[in-house]
Homo-oligomer: A and B are copies of this chain.
């Protein structure tokens, strides 16, 4: 049996899950990898904090050098999160000939290609399955199981926090602020939830998936991104009446030589496969020209699911070493695609209008004059004077949408453009 010494950076939720699995599944891991993993050093901030993990006190250190400059350590697991100093630590570890497994999406989406290059140069592995969608092996699947296909699209619900909030808003009629507060109380959302609710977390994840699927550089800055803060319970209710559910969707779509990467709240038909993902669950669809569409579904976060992905990367590295496989980290790049986000989609537009005969007809006519076809026009509720009108369009692009909305605003019976959301089919 081979032996591998592990250094872990950080001892938070995921690291605790990893420690549990290393202990509970020791026999399975050793049988499959023919390798005994030993946690030799753990970097922590607070040396005095009491921790519920079966490690001797001398394993803990507050000095990074004890790990990344330690010749006895073969593999570093980076679980401190954030870009700095994780970037510097990982880079140094790779240069020192250590394999690295990380769950850090911000790091990989920002410096992944550079770090993979450094890993290749140093003949060591860099793996990051846990950086996207927790326990779902989406990166492994894209790297190894769909290579016979031209990938056309990746579409997923990859942020558990926003999905939890939207599910609670939908099931219990909560407003966004109420659902967020509750998610924070239950530990599903951070005290500062901005990275999740503004869509940054999903943006990092779709950048990584897009890189792996399309062999394109990770252009985080080119992703068109919108969060869920302006979703109201009214929109969720109206969407439901029309047969849709609202989800924060991340997509990367290839068409000819163009690539569109977006994160946005969208209306999904109730029967859409990824609509299955409720609360903390994630789901990702891969569309290819051979397999048509497949979906992976599972828990997108949590100590054990995410720890399980980290540990699987460690086992994969151990197996590759056992099999004396030549090291390959970098994704084979394709000819560069032109990244543009035309937002060619169906749209849901909710207007508050003065409730009187003829208004619906007039507005419908304006869409027609702009060449935008409508799937449906619905007045879902009547109140005194003000009526909400919901339009669902056929596919159109953002430019045409802007123009029609400009004309709609001029129409005096329109009190407010209450919301505009994409609709997926």
Contacts and interface: CB of A to CB of B under 8 A. Distances in A.
B298 A297 contact: no
A306 to B, nearest CB: 9
Nearest to A294: B298
A328 B164 CA distance: 42
A93 interface: no
A124 interface: no
Interface string A318-332: 001011111010001
Given A31-B332, A146-B312, A148-B311, A295 B297 contact: yes
The interface centre, meaning the residue of A140, A273, A297, A323 with most chain B CB atoms within 10 A of its CB, is A297
Contact of A292 (B31, B273, B299): B299
A29 B145 contact: no
A28 to B, nearest CB: 6
A136 B297 CA distance: 13
A322 B327 CA distance: 11
A307 B289 CA distance: 11
Contact of A25 (B21, B150, B305): B150
Interface in A271-319: 273, 276, 288-299, 302, 304-305, 307-309, 311-312, 314-316
A48 interface: no
How extensive is the interface on chain A, given as a class? 35 or more
A176 B135 CA distance: 39
A350 to B, nearest CB: 29
A141 interface: yes
A229 interface: no
Contact of A147 (B32, B273, B305): B32
A24 interface: yes
A137 interface: yes
Given A136-B291, A292-B298, 7 more contacts: A17-B290, A146-B312, A147-B315, A148-B312, A295-B298, A296-B297, A297-B297
22 contacts: A21-B149, A28-B147, A28-B148, A28-B150, A33-B147, A135-B292, A135-B294, A137-B141, A137-B145, A141-B141, A145-B312, A146-B308, A148-B311, A148-B314, A273-B276, A290-B304, A290-B305, A290-B308, A290-B311, A291-B299, A291-B308, A292-B298
